[in-house]
Structure 1
Amino acid sequence: MTPDRTLSYRKGPTDGPLLNQTIGQALRRAALQWPDELALVSRHQRLRWTWRELDREVDRVASGLLHLGIRKGDRVGIWAANCAEWAVIQFASARIGAILVTINPAYRVSEVEYVLAKAGCSLLVTAARFKTSDYIAMLREIDPNAMPLLRIKVALGEEVQEGVLRWDDLRAEPDVPALTALEAALSPDDAINVQFTSGTTGFPKGATLTHRNILNNAHFTGRTINLTNADRICIPVPLYHCFGMVLGNLAALTSGAAMVYPGEAYDPTLVLQAIEAEGCTALYGVPTMFIAILARTDLDSYNVSTLRTGIMAGAPCPATTMRQVMDQLNMREITIGYGMTETSPLTTQTATDDPLEERAGTVGRVHPHAEAKIVGPDGKTLPIGEQGEYCSRGYAVMQGYWDEPERTAEAIDADGWMHSGDLAVMDEKGYIRITGRIKDMVIRGGENIYPREIEEFLLTHPQIQDAQVFGVADEKLGEEVCAWVIAKPGAELSVDGVLAHCRGNIAHYKVPRHVRVVPRFPMTVTGKAQKFQMRKMMETELRIARGSPPLGEPQ
């Protein structure tokens, strides 16, 4: 039956088949197809590997895992910033069917304890330290009884730590017969990764993903930006997140492109140096990363002429930023991607040849072998052009939240549709615009206000670099609009100037009641602004200003 084109439902193309292989098999194929071509560059480690060399190193670590008793289905944690060992443990755990549990490098003791215990990790690979955090000391604070399955800790580097193996202790002479037998027994539908959500709204949940989920998502994302073995992908986004480990590492794996890590963590200088030195052709990032690069006064001194494409995702992209990236970074074929950890991650993406207005104003059309629809509060598919919740279905949808069937059932309905919690609109051509979060919507005196709309308007102010809009509690109206803005370098931005820009240009009820000019936003490590933290800080400030104690303190 032909779908009703007047409804907000579209199905992606199916002309290219789904990959039916495991990640380990894909690496074997890459090593055979491109043995002497560049696979991985970790610039801060001064390390360069071909696909053959990477495959051999993965065999050594996979064999080491087997010698330590790690088997199919066991959970292996990785708690580290971007480095070559991160990619090796990703591929090595997949090769033997162990489930990789990716841990946010910014986590503190209680969060690490929660993830290790929740996932039941048997082995943890950890950096010794990162920035100001001493990971080994933090792990020693955790009661071993809280993590009864954790038997082995492996620290990166050469330093000897009591009760902790070194990375070199994990490397063993490859046991090829054992690895070959194991690989043959694995299925693309086996769970291979648990990724805990980034926590912009609350406590993390562990999205459980399969080989089929993430390998195919990487494959189709790479095809969309025309990746080949001639490309080099600059990957400053964190590997612990889908953006880095799937759209970065696995898209390189399926296309033969090289992975280039500029540094342990995002630094715009290191990114520009990597692009110039390695001749990178693709660059990934969230909007805040691109904004920081564009704001550099010495941008013109770097040669970025090799860039042609990339992906901007993870948060809404201001239209002005998109245009600047295309013009100033030479990324004429940059694409916008949208998705979530629970969908491996992308379910929509713009094409490299989409008109500028579609690439700057939408998140593209539905990905191959996926379905998308926009539904109302009653669950019915809405007519084209009407705003509702974005839902997706297909191979990319996770198996579920690790050990949380109730929360899984809340997110994935009986027909297999993943409910995103995002508000969206689909046009007649199938392009989708994300208009906000259902939970972010501000209800002010009965008026529904969508923060994304106000954020886009604020970014038309010539002195505003970034803006976040959210609701704060108000005794009279229920909620009021609050805006936090970051000024462009050198700009003298005032609250009065922001308000003057709004008055008369947007409806009165959308004009922020509270405005703060701030140096930065509270962010997740993946570059997403944490509005719940801003709201908490702002409501505390307002209560104190009214002479009321902060919530939780005695009246």
Structure 2
Amino acid sequence: MADTLERSEVLVPPTAGPAEHVVGDVLRRAARLGPADPLVRTVTPHEEHAWTAAELLADAGRVAAGLLARHEPGARIATCLVNGPEAVLLQFGVALAGMVLVPVNPRSRPPELEHALRLSGASAIHAAEDAAGNPAADVAAGLAPGLPSLTEVHRCAGDWRALLSDPVAELPTVDPESLAQIQFTSGTTGRAKGVLITHAGMVATAHAFRERIGLPDGGVWINPMPLFHTAGNVLGVMGALWQRCEHVVVAFEPGRVLALVAERRATLLSAAPTLLDLLMARPEIGDTDLSSLQVVFTGGQTVLPGFAARVESTFGAPLVTTFGMTETCGSALLPAPTDPDEVRRTTVGRPLAGTDVRVAAPDGTPAVPGEQGELWVRGARLTRGYHQDPVATAAAIDQEGWLHTGDLAVMDTTGACRIVGRLKDVIKTGGENVSPEEVEEAVSGHPSVARAAVVGAPSERWGELVVAFVVPVPGAEIDTAELEQRCRDRLSPFKVPRAWRVVDELPMTASTKIQRAELRRMAASDPALSPTPAS
């Protein structure tokens, strides 16, 4: 790549890439290379178990044998599990058997789970009996009579050894371009879409992600990111395989995660911004030994510079924030931990190997550096599209293979991208466009504000008015007049919120993204919101 760009586009030439092409290959590589130390450790309230790479390969093969005794290669096998040994074994067992994993959020309500099972055509589901109070197995059993393709409901209560069968002599050959998973987008509007993910996409993304993180082989990776999303099961499970480090899989509970960082001498911690915020709020964090950490990884939502600086100060390690979607196997751009503070704290970095990136002007051509446009990505890790939804696929991926992300970005002359908003989230008021993230950054910088989200409320006169939802820091009181003056001091008048709403929490998706559609609905329908006249 040139040192400076004249247009906001980075085309990464294809490389030879790794010799491993399917999920099972990466596990076989780890088993072949060793070492004999634990590769994967699962920590639950009931049990802690660790596998070496060779042990995990053997047990995953036995899971595959059990699946092949009842299903043909290509069958859809759903999981509805919290982080734990069953989720890890089934991810690898399904892959070795040449079947398709359908990981579903274990807190899904019955209509959401039914939609995922019906659309994917799942033949079996392995569901938790108790997923943080949600009886997922009971829900699945109740849905089964109405789902002709679903012939098996397996109840999981920590008895992961029940998944193991006698090994088979030979497992099927798996095509790298075959489906590995159907993952469902969290979706802020409408029903979730089934994203088609290939073995080749998972392998390439995890490899490129691990290379950009830059840590040497070994170390300890603490991963509370849910394994039903790409951040957990592609970047985490597969990325740690490439690094051949001890990968500690744990369901998120702040005290437990902090204890594990100290006890296991973690070198990498991955957690969504919301989870990092919860960790930093723990009273014991000041007494927790975090000195072993070399990288903190996050993603899933825009991270403001002030928040990034607070994370780095608290954890004593550089924070790297990826831009990724389920449609890109979880990551497409990422800063390196060695990048300057300005790059790490204000951008999502540069394209990973094998990823083309364009910031597109309204006519589809590359914008000039510094000019805002829609972020497009293309490459081997891209989804094939949406399961049984050619209309949505065609709307998202154009004929040249570019995925139109719907995110607004600015690329600098080195190829680093800063996310500045969403096309559909842009507020149009009085003929001007307002980026919610820009207003949120101004509001969130106040010491009384823990989190803020900004949306547009319908206005006959102005088209939309800017409305701010604010979550106070525990024990603090919000002075909206003070916040308004802070915004006036930092923003053009048309960007200043005209109404303020103090709330205990913001509505979030399963992947910890703010549900702006729900906030827009609240702003439009709640009579308590009385916008002040625009000036």
Find the partner of 2:56 among 54, 59, 67.
54
Q: Trace 1:436-451 onto structure 2 (pairs within 5 A).
A: 436-451=421-436
> In structure 2, what is the equivalent of residue 533 of structure 1?
518
Distance 1:316 1:516 in 2: 21
Between stretches 196-205 and 305-314, larger displacement belongs to 196-205
> In structure 2, what is the equivalent of residue 202 of structure 1?
190
Identity %: 33
> In structure 1, what is the equivalent of residue 117 of structure 2?
116
Cα pair distance change 1:230/1:35, threshold 3 Å: closer
Is the 1:42–1:261 Cα contact (8 Å) retained in structure 2?
Answer: yes
Is the 1:373–1:392 Cα contact (8 Å) retained in structure 2?
Answer: yes
Amino acid at match of 2:213: I
Does residue 1:293 correspond to 2:274, yes or no? no
Is the 1:191–1:208 Cα contact (8 Å) retained in structure 2?
Answer: yes
The superposition leaves residues 173-217 of structure 1 with CA deviations (integer Å, 9 ceiling, x where unpaired) of 111x232xx1xx211111111111111233211110111101110
Post-superposition shift, 1:540?
2.0
Q: What TM-score comes out, normalization by structure 1 length? A: 0.91
> In structure 1, what is the equivalent of residue 170 of structure 2?
178
Q: Flag structure 1 segments of 5+ consecutive residues without an equivalent.
A: 159-165, 547-555
Amino acid at match of 2:133: T
Post-superposition shift, 1:424?
0.5
Distance 2:342 2:2 in 1: 29
Post-superposition shift, 1:33?
1.1
Find the partner of 2:339 among 342, 354, 361.
354
Post-superposition shift, 1:227?
3.4
SS in 2 for 1:339: coil
> In structure 2, what is the equivalent of residue 452 of structure 1?
437
Distance 2:308 2:501 in 1: 25
Distance 2:219 2:465 in 1: 48
Distance 1:134 1:102 in 2: 16
Distance 1:297 1:119 in 2: 44
Post-superposition shift, 1:355?
0.6
Distance 2:61 2:26 in 1: 14
Is the 1:198–1:204 Cα contact (8 Å) retained in structure 2?
Answer: yes
Is the 1:345–1:396 Cα contact (8 Å) retained in structure 2?
Answer: no
Does residue 1:326 correspond to 2:312, yes or no? yes
> In structure 2, what is the equivalent of residue 542 of structure 1?
527
Q: How many residues align?
A: 529
Q: Flag structure 2 segments of 5+ consecutive residues without an equivalent.
A: none
> In structure 2, what is the equivalent of residue 187 of structure 1?
175
> In structure 1, what is the equivalent of residue 29 of structure 2?
29
Is the 1:13–1:367 Cα contact (8 Å) retained in structure 2?
Answer: no
Is the 1:348–1:367 Cα contact (8 Å) retained in structure 2?
Answer: yes
Distance 1:518 1:495 in 2: 13
Distance 1:178 1:113 in 2: 34
Cα pair distance change 1:543/1:143, threshold 3 Å: farther
Post-superposition shift, 1:2?
9.3
Is the 1:7–1:384 Cα contact (8 Å) retained in structure 2?
Answer: yes
Between stretches 148-157 and 483-492, larger displacement belongs to 483-492
Amino acid at match of 1:327: S
> In structure 1, what is the equivalent of residue 134 of structure 2?
133
Is the 1:76–1:123 Cα contact (8 Å) retained in structure 2?
Answer: yes
Is the 1:20–1:188 Cα contact (8 Å) retained in structure 2?
Answer: no
> In structure 1, what is the equivalent of residue 106 of structure 2?
105
Cα pair distance change 1:378/1:9, threshold 3 Å: same
Amino acid at match of 1:516: R
Is the 1:194–1:207 Cα contact (8 Å) retained in structure 2?
Answer: yes
> In structure 2, what is the equivalent of residue 552 of structure 1?
none
Distance 1:335 1:482 in 2: 30
Cα pair distance change 1:493/1:2, threshold 3 Å: closer
Is the 1:19–1:212 Cα contact (8 Å) retained in structure 2?
Answer: no
Post-superposition shift, 1:15?
5.9
Amino acid at match of 1:481: V
Distance 1:50 1:241 in 2: 24
> In structure 2, what is the equivalent of residue 381 of structure 1?
366
Amino acid at match of 1:455: E
Cα pair distance change 1:422/1:33, threshold 3 Å: same
The superposition leaves residues 502-542 of structure 1 with CA deviations (integer Å, 9 ceiling, x where unpaired) of 23432111111121122211112221111111222232213
The superposition leaves residues 343-364 of structure 1 with CA deviations (integer Å, 9 ceiling, x where unpaired) of 1121110011111011100110
SS in 1 for 2:157: coil
Distance 1:20 1:34 in 2: 16
Amino acid at match of 1:236: P
Cα pair distance change 1:143/1:234, threshold 3 Å: closer
Does residue 1:40 correspond to 2:40, yes or no? yes
> In structure 2, what is the equivalent of residue 549 of structure 1?
none
SS in 2 for 1:259: strand
Between stretches 300-309 and 51-60, larger displacement belongs to 51-60
Distance 2:524 2:106 in 1: 29
Cα pair distance change 1:236/1:169, threshold 3 Å: closer
Post-superposition shift, 1:479?
1.0
Post-superposition shift, 1:393?
0.8
Post-superposition shift, 1:19?
4.5
SS in 2 for 1:124: strand
Between stretches 362-371 and 292-301, larger displacement belongs to 292-301
Cα pair distance change 1:356/1:214, threshold 3 Å: same
Find the partner of 1:481 among 448, 462, 466.
466
Post-superposition shift, 1:221?
0.7
Distance 1:66 1:469 in 2: 50
> In structure 1, what is the equivalent of residue 352 of structure 2?
367
Post-superposition shift, 1:121?
0.2
Is the 1:494–1:517 Cα contact (8 Å) retained in structure 2?
Answer: no
Is the 1:343–1:396 Cα contact (8 Å) retained in structure 2?
Answer: yes
Cα pair distance change 1:407/1:355, threshold 3 Å: same
Distance 2:57 2:426 in 1: 48
Is the 2:106–2:134 Cα contact (8 Å) retained in structure 1?
Answer: no
CA RMSD of aligned residues (A): 2.0
